[in-house]
Amino acid sequence: MQIDNAAPRARMQARTSETFGSALIALVIAARPLAVIGAALGFWAFDITTIVGLAPLAISSPFFRPLTLVIIFGLIPVSALALFLVPALYVLLTPADARKAKVLD
């Protein structure tokens, strides 16, 4: 009895693993843009909370004003570089074959 069910069970497991692999690839491809959006929102939320937290210190204390202004105005270009320049350089410098292979792995 056990031998009779082995072949159909093996075919069913093979189909299930193929379906799971296809679904996993589709999930990775669909999740990538969502991850980019989430990272962008996370960066901006971090920047805004840091600026709001440092603003009272920059306004009230003449001793800490230069330091807080450097942090605030340094945070803006660094965040822009991290959000736009790094992904653009990744796309330009990584060969298309390697990116496709990485998505399929």
* pTM of the full structure: 0.49
Nearest to 99 by CA among 29, 36, 34: 29
**For the chain, what are the domain ranges?**
31-104
More confident residue, 31 or 84: 84
Give the whole-angstrom CA distance, residue 103 versus residue 26: 10
- What per-residue confidence (pLDDT) applies to 3? 53
Would you list the DSSP string of 39-95? HHHHHHHHHHHHHHHHHHHHHH-TTTHHHHHHHHHHHHHHHHIIIIIHHHHHHHHS-
Tokens of 77: 């270009």
